[in-house]
Amino acid sequence: VPTLYVVATPIGNLADLTPRAQDVLRSVAAICAEDTRRSGQLLAHFGIQQPLVALHDHNEEALSQRIVARLLAGESLALVSDAGTPLVSDPGYRLVRAAREAGIKVSPVPGACAAIAALSVAGLPSDRFTFEGFLPAKASGRRERLNALAGETRTLVFYESSHRITESLADMMAAFGPERPAVLARELTKLFETVLDGDLASLLQQVEADDNQRKGEFVVMVQGAADDEEAQLAAGRRMYAKLSEHLP
Ligand code: SAM
């Protein structure tokens, strides 16, 4: 049956492209990729030469129907993103929804995902967690989002880039308190892989003290609020402090 395969690609180490992913990518009529140049390089490394179709946030809505038409005509296609699992802070959601609505089989070829890789080495409670993806770029939006999460008891997982890692850690410290346990996973599966743990204050201090610790790609994980009255009181106090800024 014609299938849309959603294929995870490596988050750094090329050897993490699974044998099944390679087989599937070789077997399809075309591969939809966020950045055809980047994916082209990855595929060339494995000697995979399928045609590439550029599918990114800006053309996804318009292109999805054309891709669905190819699937309905009997072709199998694959979807990849620049790194890791498509749809996880990456394009693909609209295409997958359009394919499902058209009754097309959509099948996962699982593999690397930075959030899950990071959680697996953090040593934070991960029986329940909440994936928050990227925080808003603007400081006001970021602080608002973090304040809303202050009382969350599940482990929080964020994606962050080198541009904003210091600001984000500082804002997390303000929202969750300096002593909240946290883990910073950087450049996973790559040459400079580093996993720092401690509390938010010590993570911020380590990142501020060493330029190298601000380079690359990050997953920030923060332990949830303690599930007791004190945590609720603390969240209430922080909210009161925030509100009082706006009161005459
Ligand atoms: N779809 C991808 C996945 O499955 O993880 C995520 C794509 S998102 C655009 C890119 C973000 O993922 C980076 O800014 C970083 O937060 C995280 N990330 C990707 N690769 C990583 C790595 N090797 N180490 C740490 N974080 C990584």
Report helix, strand or coil for 192.
coil
194 lines ligand 1 (CB under 6 A): no
pLDDT at 227: 79
CA of 87 to the centre of ligand 1 (A): 12
Q: Which atom of ligand 1 is nearest to the CA of 87?
A: 1
Cα separation, 90 vs 223, whole angstroms: 25
pLDDT digits (tens, 9 = 90+) for 226-240: 977 556 767 677 778
173 lines ligand 1 (CB under 6 A): no
CA of 141 to the centre of ligand 1 (A): 21
**68 vs 248, higher pLDDT:** 68
Mapping DSSP onto H, E and C, the string for 130-142 reads EEEEECCCCHHHH
CA of 115 to the centre of ligand 1 (A): 7
Cα separation, 221 vs 40, whole angstroms: 32
219 lines ligand 1 (CB under 6 A): yes
pLDDT at 11: 98
Name the strand (E) or helix (H) holding 100: helix 93-101
pLDDT digits (tens, 9 = 90+) for 1-60: 999 999 999 999 999 999 999 999 999 999 999 999 999 999 999 999 999 999 998 899
187 lines ligand 1 (CB under 6 A): yes
Cα separation, 203 vs 236, whole angstroms: 25
pLDDT digits (tens, 9 = 90+) for 73-87: 999 999 999 999 999
What is the ipTM metric for this complex?
Answer: 0.99
34 lines ligand 1 (CB under 6 A): no
pLDDT at 246: 82
Beta pairing class for 181-186 and 194-199: antiparallel
pLDDT digits (tens, 9 = 90+) for 107-130: 999 999 999 999 999 999 999 999
pLDDT digits (tens, 9 = 90+) for 180-228: 999 999 999 999 999 999 999 999 999 999 999 899 999 999 999 997 7
171 lines ligand 1 (CB under 6 A): no
For residues 139-165, average pLDDT: 96
CA of 91 to the centre of ligand 1 (A): 13
pLDDT digits (tens, 9 = 90+) for 91-104: 999 999 999 999 99
89 lines ligand 1 (CB under 6 A): yes
CB 125 within 8 A of CB 155: yes
13 lines ligand 1 (CB under 6 A): no
Alpha helix segments (H runs only) across 149-228: 165-176, 200-209
Q: Whose CA is nearest to atom 11 of ligand 1?
A: 159
160 lines ligand 1 (CB under 6 A): yes
